[in-house]
Amino acid sequence: MIRIDQVGKRFGTVTAVEGVSFEAADGAITGLLGPNGAGKTTTLRMLYAVMAPNSGHIRVDDVDAVAHPQAAQARLGVLPDGFGLYPRLTAREHIEYFGALHGIEPSRLAARTEELLGLLDMHGIADRLTAGFSHGERTKVALARALVHNPQNLLLDEPTNGLDVMSTRALRNIVRRLRDEGRCVLFSSHVMQEVSALCDSIVVMAAGRVVARGTPAELRQQTGHQSLEDAFVSLADLDRRAHR
Amino acid sequence: MTDVKALRQTIIVCRKELKDSLRDRRALWSIAFSVLIGPILVAFMMNRIADQRREAEEVRIPVVGIDRAPALVDWLRQQQGTQVVEGPADAEQAVRDQREAVVLVIPEDFAERFVTSRPAPVRVVSDSSRNDVRPSVERVRRLLQQYGLEIGSLRMIVRGVSPAAVNPLAVEEVEVSTAQQRAAQILTFIPMFIMVAGFVGGMQIATDSTAGERERGSLEPLLINPAPRGAFVSGKWLAASLAAIASVILTTALSAQLTRFLPLEDIGIRLEISPQHIGNILLAVVPMCLFTAALQATIATLARSFKEAQSYMGVLMLAPLMPGLLSTLYPIGAAPWMYAVPLLGPYVLLTGVIGGRPPGVSAFLVSAGVSLLVAIILVRVTTHLFRSERIIFAR
């Protein structure tokens, strides 16, 4: 479970995120929806503790992520924006590197790696260097790497960007499966269909603030629009006018 | 408990960086090149010097006007390793065209002036811009000087004057340096090359795992792992240091092998790099490797891009060369304070060790202590930089 409370972040004089609060529950997929530059990635970066907020509180399960970043990171699996793979390591070595850093014993790590290679259907590419991988294959490596320590919470930053239809579908299935296992999945996207197809609950961000929260149905009701896309546009637009 | 965990994570990061860089063919080649070029260059130069010595001992003296000074020519013929031949028609052109290294010209009035005890002219035609023939020219000059002295002494004895009267000074040269020290002087390049090997060996990992990792976007995912920033930085530093140490071992071993095959006796020097020498060399340079790797990592982390980091490394390359280059201009001794200066300390230690006069244990300790201290400070600084969002996300 993830709880963010009144979080703010400034870069110099620019306010990237301000007063952001929301909750992502266990056993649910929460969508973080917003146009580019809305502050989604900054919010996630504070969540997975590579950035410190200027104000507010972040809790991952029962851990204060600001005070104990490493304890929070141990409970998080993260697929960051841009996977950052090592071209000279194989898929298997990627998984094992991060697993070892999480403190998994070598014998258990080998078994866990095999399990993930099976789960993500990666046996064919397991021992190839990632240098020539397709976008879909790279996504799988990054996802396997994020799941190696069996985290209770999963953060995905625009995971379907640039993925083909088959890979997107495979990714959705895995995310659903993780949800059904009772995990907390937080999913950022700027693509409406994506979020409406997958998410149990949606947080809409624009210009560094949360402009709406709720289930897809609640959002439609709140804005008076039938389609979620129209709802989203009116929410983002509303905010822009308020800031003018 | 957390310290044990952080240490384990440091080793995991170190192992990954070593594995990663060992697969980087291009980087490996460039390291191999810089490690091998030094010893090979020294071997080549030593061979040339030895060849020249041998050439000078066997000197060919073309003489123009060979009939004008039969006594001198006979005397020259009697000397060891000389070959007197009829000179070319145009002596200066022959030397200019490099057909001859040196030509002796005896003018027409030689005999006339010689018999009347006036200085008889002898012309030595040579090209002083040619380094390769210098020993031969020197040999011819020395021979002429020697002949002049002998004739001069004879003339004085004939006139009842002791030749000793015209030698008010008896200059004696006392050489106190050992043969090994003289060898070290000629082979000052070896310490320099060992230091450069240590520097270049760690450079690849130090830049690729910091500035390179950030530029490829793999730094952010890495830092999401629950480990203290110090463990990441230490692991990368350790990997770069180990690569540097490996390069040093390689260069030293190669130099040791080469000195065995070089014609050093021909040059009149003795140089040997025994296993014990290698031990001392490593004691002198390993702490330096820890320092240079830390310095490279700090600077690469500060750089805004991988390219910028690489250009800084190019400038930084001058640092390990500096003590060696300066010592050829200003002969530096081994003052105690030098051991306390990073880079200079290891250099002075190395010249001592290779010159066959290893400094005391305290010198090794001071040098190692300073290098380690500065290295630890730099690792701390880099760790601090790794906590800065502006550094991590400077893409």
Between CA B89 and CA B262 the distance in angstroms is: 41
3 state SS of B208: helix
pLDDT band at B177 (very low <50, low <70, confident <90, very high): low
Are B19 and A93 a contacting pair at CB < 8 A?
A: yes
Between CA B210 and CA B218 the distance in angstroms is: 10
Which of A235-239, B33-37, B311-315, B356-360 bottoms out in mean pLDDT, i.e. has the lowest?
Answer: A235-239
Are A80 and B23 a contacting pair at CB < 8 A?
A: no
pLDDT band at A196 (very low <50, low <70, confident <90, very high): confident
Domain closes at, from A133, A150, A167: A150
A165: domain range?
A: 25-75+152-244
pLDDT band at A1 (very low <50, low <70, confident <90, very high): very high
Set of chain B residues whose Cβ sits within 8 Å of the Cβ of A129: 23
pLDDT band at A183 (very low <50, low <70, confident <90, very high): very high
Are B224 and A89 a contacting pair at CB < 8 A?
A: no
Set of chain A residues whose Cβ sits within 8 Å of the Cβ of B228: 70
DSSP secondary structure string, A57-117? EEEETTEETTT-HHHHHHTEEEE-SS----TTSBHHHHHHHHHHHTT--HHHHHHHHHHHH
Residue A180 has pLDDT above 80, yes or no: yes
Residue B33 has pLDDT above 90, yes or no: no
Average pLDDT over residues B349-364: 87
Between CA A202 and CA A32 the distance in angstroms is: 6
Domain closes at, from B145, B172, B199: B172
Q: What is the mean pLDDT of chain B?
A: 86
Residue showing tokens 């006594």 = B71
Domain closes at, from A106, A123, A150: A150
> Touching check for B391 and chain A: CB below 8 Å?
no
Which of A156-165, B267-276, B348-357 bottoms out in mean pLDDT, i.e. has the lowest?
Answer: B267-276
Task: Please tell me the distance in Å from B228's CA to the nearest CA on chain A.
Answer: 8
Mutation for A interface: B26, B225, B387, B389, most A CBs within 10 A: B225
Mutation for B interface: A9, A42, A86, most B CBs within 10 A: A86
CATH of the domain at A33: 3.40.50.300
Report the side by side order of strands in the sheet with A2-11.
A14-24, A2-11, A55-60, A63-64
pLDDT (0 to 100) of residue B111: 87
3 state SS of A150: coil
Average pLDDT over residues A152-162: 91
Task: Please tell me the distance in Å from A21's CA to the nearest CA on chain B.
Answer: 22
pLDDT (0 to 100) of residue B185: 58
pLDDT (0 to 100) of residue B207: 95
Q: Tell me which residue of A114, A112, A169 sits closest to A136, measured CA to CA.
A: A169
Are B9 and A76 a contacting pair at CB < 8 A?
A: no
Instruction: Judge whether A2 lies within some domain.
Output: no
Using alpha carbons, list the distances in angstroms from residue A11 to A20, A205, B155, B260, B389. 16, 18, 97, 63, 10
Query: Are residue B106 and residue B233 in the same domain, yes or no?
Result: no
Which range, A207-221, B120-134, B198-212, has the best average confidence (pLDDT)? B198-212
pLDDT band at B265 (very low <50, low <70, confident <90, very high): low
Could you tell me whether strands A76-79 and B59-64 are parallel, antiparallel, or unpaired per DSSP bridges?
unpaired
pLDDT (0 to 100) of residue B270: 61
Q: Are A9 and A42 spatial neighbours (Cβ–Cβ below 8 Å)?
A: yes
CB pairs under 8 A between A and B: 67
DSSP secondary structure string, A116-136? HHHHTT-GGGTTSBGGG--HH
Query: Are residue A59 and residue A173 in the same domain, yes or no?
Result: yes
Q: Are A120 and A174 spatial neighbours (Cβ–Cβ below 8 Å)?
A: yes
Average pLDDT over residues B299-318: 93
Residue A103 has pLDDT above 80, yes or no: yes
pLDDT (0 to 100) of residue B37: 81
Residue A24 has pLDDT above 90, yes or no: yes
Query: Are residue B102 and residue B207 in the same domain, yes or no?
Result: no
Q: Tell me which residue of B391, B201, B196 sits closest to B300, measured CA to CA.
A: B391
Percentage of chain B beyond pLDDT 70 is 89
Number of domains in chain B: 2
pLDDT (0 to 100) of residue B90: 87
Query: Are residue B91 and residue B234 in the same domain, yes or no?
Result: no
Report the largest interatomic distance among the alpha carbons of chain A, rounded to a whole angstrom.
58
* Closest CB to A102 among B19, B218, B225: B225
Instruction: Judge whether B53 lies within some domain.
Output: no
B331: domain range?
A: 2-48+180-392
pLDDT (0 to 100) of residue A216: 82
Are A101 and B13 a contacting pair at CB < 8 A?
A: yes
pLDDT (0 to 100) of residue B80: 81
Query: Are residue A68 and residue A189 in the same domain, yes or no?
Result: yes
pLDDT band at B135 (very low <50, low <70, confident <90, very high): confident
Token pair for residue B19? 């594995």
Domain closes at, from B172, B192, B214: B172
Residue B233 has pLDDT above 90, yes or no: yes
Are A101 and B225 a contacting pair at CB < 8 A?
A: yes
pLDDT band at A239 (very low <50, low <70, confident <90, very high): low
A31-71: per-residue pLDDT in tens?
999 888 889 999 999 999 999 999 999 999 999 999 999 99
Average pLDDT over residues B241-257: 91
pLDDT (0 to 100) of residue A242: 53
Q: Tell me which residue of A74, A75, A57 sits closest to A66, measured CA to CA.
A: A57
Q: How many CB atoms lie within 10 A of CB A216?
A: 17
pLDDT (0 to 100) of residue A63: 95
Q: Which residues of A touch B (CB under 8 A)?
A: 45, 48-52, 69-71, 73-74, 76, 78, 80, 82-89, 93, 97-98, 100-103, 129, 142, 145
Query: Are residue B263 and residue B294 in the same domain, yes or no?
Result: yes
B116-133: per-residue pLDDT in tens?
888 888 999 988 888 778
Residue B50 has pLDDT above 60, yes or no: yes
Instruction: Judge whether A7 lies within some domain.
Output: no
DSSP state of B163: G
Q: Phi and psi at residue B55, in whole multiples of 5°?
A: -60, -40
Query: Are residue A56 and residue A169 in the same domain, yes or no?
Result: yes
Residue A91 has pLDDT above 90, yes or no: yes
Q: Output B330 or A18, whichever has higher pLDDT.
A: A18
Helices of type H across B317-360 = 318-329, 344-354
Average pLDDT over residues A198-205: 92
Which range, A229-243, B87-101, B220-234, B350-364, has the best average confidence (pLDDT)? B220-234
pLDDT (0 to 100) of residue B181: 55
Instruction: Judge whether A12 lies within some domain.
Output: no
Average pLDDT over residues B289-294: 97
Domain closes at, from B154, B172, B190: B172
Using alpha carbons, list the distances in angstroms from residue A234 to A117, A220, A240, A243, A244. 42, 11, 10, 14, 15
pLDDT (0 to 100) of residue B178: 52
Are A101 and B226 a contacting pair at CB < 8 A?
A: yes
pLDDT (0 to 100) of residue B271: 65
Using alpha carbons, list the distances in angstroms from residue B201 to B29, B87, B211, B280, B373. 11, 55, 17, 19, 21
Instruction: Judge whether A4 lies within some domain.
Output: no
Query: Are residue A64 and residue A93 in the same domain, yes or no?
Result: no
Which of A199-203, B24-28, B218-222, B297-301 bottoms out in mean pLDDT, i.e. has the lowest?
Answer: B24-28
pLDDT band at B56 (very low <50, low <70, confident <90, very high): low
Task: Please tell me the distance in Å from B235's CA to the nearest CA on chain A.
Answer: 12
End-to-end CA distance of chain A: 35
pLDDT (0 to 100) of residue B2: 65
Residue B273 has pLDDT above 90, yes or no: no
Taking CA–CA distances from A85, the nearest residue in chain B reads B218
Instruction: Judge whether A133 lies within some domain.
Output: yes
Query: Are residue B39 and residue B63 in the same domain, yes or no?
Result: no
